[in-house]
Amino acid sequence: MKALLLENIHADAVKMLQARGFEVDTRPGALSEDELIAALQGVDYLGIRSRSNVTRRVLESSPGLRAIGAFCIGTNQIDLTAATEHGVAVFNAPYSNTRSVVELAIGEIISMARRLTDRNRDMHAGVWDKSAVGSHEVRGRTLGIVGYGNIGSQLSIIAEALGMRVLFYDVADRLALGNARRVDSLDELLAEAETISVHVDGRAENKHLFGAAEFAKMRPRSLFLNLCRGPVVDIDALQEALVSGHIAGAAIDVFPSEPKSKGEPFVSPLQNVPNVILTPHVGGSTQEAQVDIGRYVAGKLADYEGLGSTSMCVNLPDVAAGPKSDARIVHLHRNVPGVMARLSSLLAQHNINIGSQTLATKGAVGYSVTDVSGDGYADLVAELAELPETIQVRAL
C-alpha cells in the first residue's frame, strides 16, 4: 500500500506506517488542488494537516484512494460528504494536541494581561520602563469561552486553577466542569467576560462569528483570542476594535488566508498593532503533540488497512474491529434494506462460513465486518462489488 504524507507530518508516523508494510512518500508543504490530484495517482492513503484542501474534484479524480488521515483536529478542509460517497474513510486526532492549544492560550492571556508584548518591544529598543500601569493579574478576572468542547473545557479547568472566573457558551449541551457557568447566549457572554477565547469548529455557519457587532458588545478594554479557525473572525473588524482601543489586546493563531508553506509571505491587518500576539497556526505544534498525533492517526490508517477498523472514523460507521483469525470481508454499502441478506446469501453460495459479524450504520451508509473461513474470496469480492448498494468491498 502506498501512502502520501504532506505538510511535515511527524517522522514517527512515517516509521509506523512503514513498519506496517506501507510505502511512504512525504512532502514538506501543502499542495494545490491540481497538484494534489496529480500526486494522488497510485496512492491509497493520504495524510494532511490543515492547509491541504481535499475537494470533491480531488476525490472524484482519485478512485484508488481508501482513506485520509487529518493529522490535526479539524476536518473542514476535507469534503466529508464526497469522501463518504466515494468510500474514503477519514480519520483525525481530536484529542492529541488539546493540551498544547490550551497551554498557548493560557500563556497568551497572561502575556496580554501583563502587556508583555509592549515590555518586550521597549526593552529591545533600549527603553527601561518599570511600571505597573496597564498590567494586571489574571486571578479574579472573568474568562468567557466560546465553544466548550475538548479544548474549551480543558482551558476552563486550567483557567479556574489560576483563579479565573469561567463562563462558557456552546450551541451543544455541555456539562460544566468545576465552577464554570454556562450562559444562554453569546451576547450574555460578551457582556460579562473580560477575556474571550474562541474554540469552535470550521463549519460554514461559524464564518464571521465575531465581527464588528460582536466586538462592540464586548466590555471596554477586553482581551480576545482566536486559536481555532481563521474564518471565524472578521480580521478587519478586529483591527478596527484594537486601533480604537475598545479591545485592549488580541492573540491570533489562525487566519482567513494562510501561506501554504514556510517562506511564503504573510500579510495581515493586525501586523504592527500594539499588544497583539500573532503566531503562525502553531496552537497544536509542540513536539509532544506532533508525536502523539503522528502515532495516533498513522495507527488508525494502518488498522483500517489491515483490520478494517473504523473506530473513531469521522465519516463512516464506527466498527472497532479486532484481530482476525482467518479472513475478513469489509463491506461499505448504502444503508438500505436487504443488503446484509444479499451478503449472507453470496457467502453461502461460495461455501464460506461466517465466524462473526459486526454491522454499524451512519446516515446513508452501512459498514459490515465479517470474519469468514473458506475459499474463493476473490470471486466473492467481485460479486459483492457488482451489487448496486456497494460503495467499497475488500477481503483482508
Question: What crossing angle do the helices spanning 98-113 and 287-307 adopt, rounded to 10°?
Answer: 160
Confidence at residue 270, expressed as pLDDT on a 0 to 100 scale: 97
- Cα(251)–Cα(101) distance, rounded to whole angstroms? 12
241 contacts: CB under 8 Å, gap ≥ 6: 212, 215, 216, 218, 247
Least confident segment among 58-72, 186-200, 364-378: 364-378
pLDDT tens-digit series, residues 12-58: 999 999 999 999 999 998 999 999 999 999 999 999 998 899 999 99
pLDDT band at 263 (very low <50, low <70, confident <90, very high): confident
Residue 391 forms beta bridges with which residues? Answer: none
- The mean pLDDT value for 334-356 works out to 93
**CA proximity to 67, closest of 41, 50, 86:** 86
Pick the catalytic residue from 35, 160, 240, 258: 258
**CA proximity to 155, closest of 109, 120, 191:** 109
Higher pLDDT: 374 or 172? It is 172
Spacing of C-alpha 186 from chain mean position: 23
Confidence at residue 178, expressed as pLDDT on a 0 to 100 scale: 96
Longest dimension (CA), the chain: 86
Confidence at residue 290, expressed as pLDDT on a 0 to 100 scale: 92
Pick the catalytic residue from 165, 199, 219, 229: 229
pLDDT at residue 376 greater than cutoff 80: no
- The mean pLDDT value for 165-186 works out to 96
Confidence at residue 324, expressed as pLDDT on a 0 to 100 scale: 87
Confidence at residue 260, expressed as pLDDT on a 0 to 100 scale: 79
Domain at 317-396, CATH homologous superfamily: ACT domain (3.30.70.260)
Between the two ends of the chain, the Cα-to-Cα distance in Å is: 13
Instruction: Please say if 258 is a catalytic residue.
Output: yes
Confidence at residue 378, expressed as pLDDT on a 0 to 100 scale: 85
Confidence at residue 50, expressed as pLDDT on a 0 to 100 scale: 86
Asked whether 227 and 283 are in contact (CB, 8 A), the reply is yes
Confidence at residue 374, expressed as pLDDT on a 0 to 100 scale: 79
- The mean pLDDT value for 58-79 works out to 95
pLDDT band at 389 (very low <50, low <70, confident <90, very high): very high
Indicate if 317-396 has the same CATH topology as 98-278: no
Confidence at residue 367, expressed as pLDDT on a 0 to 100 scale: 97
b/e code 314-340 from CB counts within 10 Å (16+ = b): bbbbebebeebeebbbbbbbebeeebe
- Cα(70)–Cα(93) distance, rounded to whole angstroms? 7
What's the chain's average pLDDT? 95
Domain at 98-278, CATH homologous superfamily: NAD(P)-binding Rossmann-like Domain (3.40.50.720)
Q: Is the pTM of this model over 0.85?
A: no
**CA proximity to 373, closest of 312, 326, 307, 317:** 326
Confidence at residue 261, expressed as pLDDT on a 0 to 100 scale: 76
Instruction: Please say if 33 is a catalytic residue.
Output: no
The dihedral through the CA atoms of 117, 122, 123, 128 has a sign that is negative
Instruction: Please say if 20 is a catalytic residue.
Output: no
The dihedral through the CA atoms of 73, 75, 76, 77 has a sign that is positive
Pick the catalytic residue from 281, 328, 333, 394: 281
pLDDT at residue 126 greater than cutoff 90: yes
> Does an H or E element contain 211, and which?
none
Domain 1-96+287-315: give its CATH architecture: 3-Layer(aba) Sandwich (3.40)
Confidence at residue 240, expressed as pLDDT on a 0 to 100 scale: 97
Sketch the domain layout of the chain as residue ranges. Answer: 1-96+287-315, 98-278, 317-396
- Cα(140)–Cα(316) distance, rounded to whole angstroms? 45
> Considering just the CA atoms, what is the radius of gyration of the chain in Å?
25
Confidence at residue 198, expressed as pLDDT on a 0 to 100 scale: 98
> Does an H or E element contain 55, and which?
none
